[in-house]
Amino acid sequence: MDGKRILLIVGGGIAAYKSLELIRLLAKEGIATRVILTKSGAEFVTPLSLGSLSGDKVYQELFNLTDESEMGHIELSRSADLVVVAPATADLMAKAANGLANDLASTTLLATDKPVLMAPAMNVRMWEHAATKRNVAQLQADGVHVMTPDTGPMACGEFGPGRLPEPERIAQEIRKLLAPPKGQGPLAGVRAVVTAGPTREPLDPVRFISNHSSGKQGYAIADALARLGADVRLVTGPTQLPIPNTVTGVKVETALEMQDAVKANFPADIFISVAAVADWRPAT
């Protein structure tokens, strides 16, 4: 994805530190990042850290004469292929949902003509509050892509939905939004089948024979083919990975199930087999 750029708005919250990892992950894929750091966000991460990883200027103030002369907030809002808000706090989401524009981040969200992706991060009670639900519904109605937050323990000691999605999941959503529309790209019209992960051969209801495999290589190949325009079927054994939303996933357990799933998805123009198929299975 060389040549693509996102505008990352970093909101205030303990999860702001994960924005650094997100920038690093995107850079590995050739996706450049320009950052807007909110006043609250600066309480958790520094402009120096963000600027060092992004290799670009970090913007913070709406009324900064130097910034306005070099790149006004209108141009800034349209200088990327995608605007990403991570973490998207309840405050930022409320401002965007109601068209408020009293700082650089909210003004940018109102002025941009690019797609917007929000990765929420807030306390579970805030996420489940009726006002937040109304704001999320309004944002989605306005065409904003709002991710579902992760569920788990929070810095405040509570447990539930509201955690910032992990950087890899946010990066995957960014790749999806930056990818050419389905049916476009150098592999448009090409059908591909990819196998990934291990298979499990049951010995009894509790035990099984298997090979070690994370599935990462096969998943990455399938996602890359899809981002080039291919119609991809990913036949996968049991893994801990989410199936990329750019492909059609087929989950299997045993080697015979994988064989049947592959045959069912033939004919194909491309077949890539990187699954760690078990070497043995019980005779009975």
For residue range 91-118, list pLDDT tens digits in order: 999 999 999 999 999 999 999 999 999 9
- Whole-structure pTM over 0.85, yes or no? no
Report yes or no on 153 lying in a domain. yes
pLDDT of amino acid 68: 60
What's the confidence (pLDDT) of residue 74? 79
Each residue's pLDDT tens digit, 52-82 = 999 999 999 887 756 666 566 778 888 899 9
Instruction: Evaluate whether residue 184 is within a structural domain.
Output: no
- Domain containing 49: what range? 5-178
For residues 58 and 113, membership in a common domain is answered with yes
- Boundary-marking domain end, from 178, 204, 237: 178
143 and 218 housed in the same domain:
no
* Total number of domains in the chain: 2
**Shared domain check, 196 and 131:** no
Of 178, 207, 237, which residue is a domain's last?
178
How much is the pLDDT for 78? Answer: 83
Residues 201 and 263 in one domain: yes
Taking the CA of residue 227 as centre, how many other CA atoms within 13 Å lie in the half-sphere pointing to its CB? 18
- Please indicate, yes or no, whether residues 162 and 38 belong to a single structural domain of this protein: yes
51 and 80: one domain?
Answer: yes
Segment 232-248, tens digit of pLDDT: 999 999 999 989 878 99
Q: How much is the pLDDT for 66?
A: 64
Please report whether residue 185 resides in a domain.
Answer: no
> In terms of domains, do 39 and 166 share one?
yes
211 and 164 within one domain: no
Average pLDDT (36-44) is 96
Q: Looking at the structure, tell me whether residues 145 and 239 fall in a common domain.
A: no
Q: Is residue 283 in a domain?
A: no
Is 165 in the same domain as 208? Answer: no
Active site residues: 156
Long-range contacts of 210-216 (CB under 8 A, 24+ apart): 210/278, 211/276, 211/277, 211/278, 211/279, 212/276, 213/237, 213/239, 213/275, 213/276, 214/239, 214/240, 214/241, 215/239, 215/241, 216/241
Predicted local distance difference test score (pLDDT) of residue 244: 85
Same domain, 20 and 146: yes
